[in-house]
């Protein structure tokens, strides 16, 4: 068991102001796998002051020097890859093969990319008689979720540091142990004191201070839409910049000329990744009404191929959910879907056979779901796919857009130009065309109540920069 009793503030591991500890629960065994400090409001304030004091010096550091530090952090994480994969597989429940590739491989890549970006990024340009410069926004509070813990931290902290900002990180208290490994790696890389600070604790205590403090210039938050609204309210009091990456209810639109087998298989995969605990998961599969029976049969067969089990076993394709509360929430939605008239195609609310311990849920497909049903409108955050029938292409676009969210989605068609035409009409931050793979250099973020701002690639770096125009007096002719 990992016992963490100190916070990382101003370049040192320091005792928190309070004595409370938070248990970290293993998603498969339900045992306590670690403990972390329950941070106090004063801990958050200390971290903010340390970040503020470090800002002037760090923001003036040449980009090439910042890149050297960030490169060292990428190398340090890579050296601890297996330790991190095992840790996150336990915390979150993602099967170990995927945890290595996604939960750790992604962050290592994104730290390295942040360093590489600094080699070519233009921090200034001449526009007429103005010199337009890009400057760091200031002290950044990064508040991150539990589903892709290290990667969501990375997509905020790496570009913020690259931009010349200083950072206070509050990771999710549900999956926080990986953040302590990152802090150790940052310490070993020799980052100047106060540039990066780690404070753990609960959102209503630590998070509220970070979102409302006048010395914080920007809050970057990933989590639920409900919590994001609260962060926005608090940030508005001091007119700070707020970037939000929130919930989703993404639609995978399968057009009538699509390769049906490939489209259904791809959609199931995009729904069930990380046991459905993915904000951009394709949880609504829109299919031509005339092809429903075919789709249902393919989906049932695909789901039967998902082995549910211990994420540390190489054979497991689907691990547990993060917590008992999440398990109860997801099974409740499955039952509600059935109660509201959906056809149970695969899975169901009962625990998978032989898995009485751990937060396991059967991968579930609900058929013939009404577009207005609860399971078609609310984010479930579990391995639950709703099949929704449509009559025309126009109808499919309307249903896809009938959501308060707009984060991800997909379009499948035998005609790529047609797929792109439909994708352009879907109000969402990104759309996969015929299963196009995730691109870590493309902007990631949402429309509507899925949030605002973008992460990843150069777009993620730009989020942490301000524009300044220097008007120059041209010499007389």
Give 222-254 pLDDT, tens digit per residue.
Answer: 999 999 999 999 999 999 999 999 999 999 999
CA nearest 119: which of 185, 56, 71, 181?
71
* Residue range(s) defining the domain that contains residue 257: 250-440
Both 239 and 273 in one domain: the answer is no
230 shares a domain with 313: no
The count of structural domains within the chain is: 2
Terminal-to-terminal C-alpha distance of the chain: 74
Is 228 a domain residue?
A: yes
Q: Chain-wide mean pLDDT for the chain?
A: 97
Q: Are both 229 and 339 inside the same structural domain?
A: no
Q: Tens of pLDDT along 120-170? A: 999 999 999 999 999 999 999 999 999 999 999 999 999 999 999 999 999
pLDDT at 461 over 80: yes
pLDDT band at 475 (very low <50, low <70, confident <90, very high): confident
Q: Tell me, what's the pLDDT at 245?
A: 97
Within a domain: residue 47? yes
Query: Does residue 445 sit within a domain?
Result: no
In a domain, 310, yes or no: yes
In this prediction, residues 377-398 reach a mean pLDDT of: 98
292 and 173 in one domain?
no
Examine the domain organization and report whether 301 and 171 are in the same domain. Answer: no
Catalytic residue ranges: 245, 279
| Domain annotation covers residue 477 | no
Alpha-carbon distance of 421 to 433, in angstroms, equals: 10
CB neighbour list of residue 417: distance below 8 Å, 6 or more residues apart: none
Residue range 73-77: mean pLDDT, rounded: 98
DSSP 228: H
pLDDT at 477: 67
What confidence category does residue 469 fall into, taking pLDDT thresholds of 50, 70 and 90? very high
pLDDT at 474: 82
Three-state SS at 304: helix
Pairing of strands 32-37, 21-25: antiparallel
Write down the pLDDT at residue 314: 87
Mean predicted confidence (pLDDT) in 427-448: 97
The domain that contains 41 carries what CATH number?
A: 3.40.605.10
Q: What is the CATH number of the domain that holds 320?
A: 3.40.309.10
DSSP secondary structure, 334-362, as one string = HHHHHHTT-EEEE--SSPPTT--SSS---
Distance CA 331, CA 351 (A): 9
Domain-embedded: residue 475: no
Share of the chain above pLDDT 70, in %: 100
Mean pLDDT for the stretch of residues 72-79: 98
Above 70 in pLDDT, residue 336? Answer: yes
Query: Are residues 218 and 359 both part of a single domain?
Result: no
Tens-digit pLDDT profile for residues 29-48:
999 999 999 999 999 999 99
Q: What is the pLDDT of residues 172-199, one digit of tens each?
A: 999 999 999 999 999 999 999 999 999 9
Residues 124 and 267 in one domain: no
Given a cut of 80, whether residue 476 has pLDDT beyond it is: no
411: exposed, middle or buried (Cβ count in 10 Å: 0-12, 13-18, 19+): buried
266 vs 127, 380, 430, CA distance in Å?
46, 19, 16
């Amino acid at each position: 068991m990992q016992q963490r009793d100190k916070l990382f503030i101003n370049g040192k591991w320091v005792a928190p102001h309070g004595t409370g500890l938070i248990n970290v629960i293993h998603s498969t065994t339900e045992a306590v796998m670690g403990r972390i400090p329950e941070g106090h409001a004063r801990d958050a304030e200390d971290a903010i002051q340390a970040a503020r004091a470090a800002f002037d010096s760090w923001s003036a550091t040449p980009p090439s020097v910042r890149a050297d530090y960030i490169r060292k952090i990428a190398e340090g994480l890579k050296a601890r890859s297996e330790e991190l994969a095992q840790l996150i597989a336990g915390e979150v429940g993602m099967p170990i093969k995927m945890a290595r590739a996604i939960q750790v491989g992604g962050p290592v890549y994104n730290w390295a990319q942040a360093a590489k970006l600094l080699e070519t990024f233009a921090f200034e340009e001449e526009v007429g008689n103005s010199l337009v410069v890009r400057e760091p926004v200031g002290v950044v509070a990064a508040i991150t979720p539990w589903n892709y813990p290290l990667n969501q931290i990375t997509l905020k902290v790496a570009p913020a540091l690259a931009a010349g900002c200083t950072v206070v990180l509050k990771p999710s208290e549900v999956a926080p142990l990986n953040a302590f490994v990152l802090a150790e790696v940052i310490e070993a890389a020799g980052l100047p004191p106060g540039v990066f600070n780690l404070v753990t604790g609960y959102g209503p205590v630590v998070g509220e201070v970070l979102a409302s403090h006048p010395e914080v210039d920007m809050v970057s938050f990933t989590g639920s839409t409900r919590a994001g609204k609260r962060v926005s309210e608090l940030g508005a009091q001091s007119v700070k910049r707020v970037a939000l990456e929130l919930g989703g209810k993404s639609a995978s639109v399968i057009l009538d000329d699509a390769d049906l087998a490939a489209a259904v298989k791809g959609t199931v995969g995009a729904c069930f990744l990380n046991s459905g605990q993915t904000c951009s998961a394709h949880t609504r599969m829109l299919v031509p009404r005339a092809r429903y029976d075919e789709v249902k049969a393919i989906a049932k067969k695909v789901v039967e191929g998902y082995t549910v089990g211990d994420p540390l076993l190489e054979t497991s394709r689907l691990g547990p959910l993060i917590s008992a509360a999440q398990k109860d929430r997801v099974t409740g939605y499955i039952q509600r879907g059935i109660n509201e008239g959906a056809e149970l195609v695969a899975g169901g609310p009962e625990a998978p056979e032989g898995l009485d311990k751990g937060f396991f849920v059967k991968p579930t497909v609900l058929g013939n779901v009404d577009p207005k049903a609860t399971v078609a409108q609310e984010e479930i955050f579990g391995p639950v796919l709703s099949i929704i029938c449509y009559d025309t292409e126009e109808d499919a676009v309307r249903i896809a857009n009938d959501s308060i969210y707009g984060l991800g989605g997909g379009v499948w068609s035998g005609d790529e130009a047609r797929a792109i035409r439909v994708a352009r009409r879907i109000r969402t931050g990104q759309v996969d065309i015929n299963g196009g793979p995730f691109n870590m250099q493309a902007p990631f973020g949402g429309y509507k109540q899925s949030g605002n701002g973008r992460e990843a690639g150069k777009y993620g770096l730009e989020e942490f920069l301000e524009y300044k125009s220097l008007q120059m007096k041209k010499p007389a002719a």
